[in-house]
Amino acid sequence: MKKILSVFLCICVLFSCFAMSLTASAEQLSVGNDVLDARFLDGKCPGELDYVYYQPEAKKGVKYPLMIWLHGAKSGDKPRAQLDWYRFSNWASEEYQARFQNAGGAYLLAPRSSKDPAHNWYDSITGDLKATIDYLISLHDDIDTSRIYISGYSTGGSMTWHMVTRYPEFFAAAMPIASLYNPTQAEIVKLSNTSIWLFSCDKDFYTSARTTTVKKTFDSLKEITNRPAGIRHTAFTEAVWESNRKQDALDKEHYIWGAVTNDMFMDTGEEFYFSRTYDGTGARITMERPKGIISWLSLQTNEKTGGDVKLSFFEKIIAFFRTLINKFLSMFGA
């Protein structure tokens, strides 16, 4: 009986080890989640959306890119909720900030879809979101307006498409993650000078986010892009990592945000399991720490601005008074 019990225990241990080997743990950072969350400040665009943001240390002569993160459905039910789910605050760590080449850091913005009762993102509020982004930029003159990046998950991925196709010259790069929306051909042709990185999972329950559908969008982008090395598609055969094991069976393969907010790296230093990435030239991309998503973003700029946007005299006057009014309103919490 003891011999049978010993064999049974050995089998259990082996099975446990095997299961753990299939579970990818996120990259371990030098500080914890609570510390990183606390680095985000609260803000609100007057009359528009509230948000949280991270501001890098000001350095003379340094302009920082701006990275925007859009939460998924029902993940904005209260202020700062957009930080609770997705670990976007990882990007405020010293490790991730250092990966932003040229600047050595970046502004991070996570707006909250507070205008919709279900806290989803819809095409109807693209103007509200754009106004919120413009408001943050107006308050910080060290944001590099040639390096505005946007990404989002699920309905946030859909909103990423809506924003980048509505304002294609504004964003240097976009990363729709498990998007529930796929752009039309008429929208895609607007993105010839925008870098796009798509993320999908083969087993995603939500049909519009499946790899086969996203692959068609990727192929369409390859046909029109002027940046073949600047567009990418990462497809997961399954979404497996430590924080995802207990999720609902139908939803868990939709939760590929974990790889993105961890810069595609596990604590072993390898890129996330079960993923394959190709760029617009057909080359297979393998990420090696520390060169992951952030390193790719750092190479993306808005070619049409080539730096600061040049404004006419009257546009400068309007921008000056807009900034003055926004600062005045912010003093009273409006």
Regions of the chain short of the pLDDT cut 70: 1-27, 205-210, 240-252, 303-334
pLDDT in tens, 68-88: 999 988 787 888 988 887 889
pLDDT given at position 15: 32
pLDDT given at position 43: 96
Q: Which domains does the chain have, with CATH numbers?
A: 31-331 (3.40.50.1820)
pLDDT given at position 132: 97
Start-to-end C-alpha separation, the chain: 74
pLDDT given at position 5: 47
pLDDT given at position 322: 53
Write down the pTM of the prediction. 0.81
Radius of gyration of the chain (CA): 21
- The Cα angle at residue 107 between residues 104 and 112, in degrees rounded to 5: 155
pLDDT in tens, 196-222: 999 998 877 665 556 788 999 999 999
d(CA 264, CA 271): 5
Strand-pair partners of 149: 67, 173
Place of tokens 């997961």: 236
pLDDT given at position 166: 97
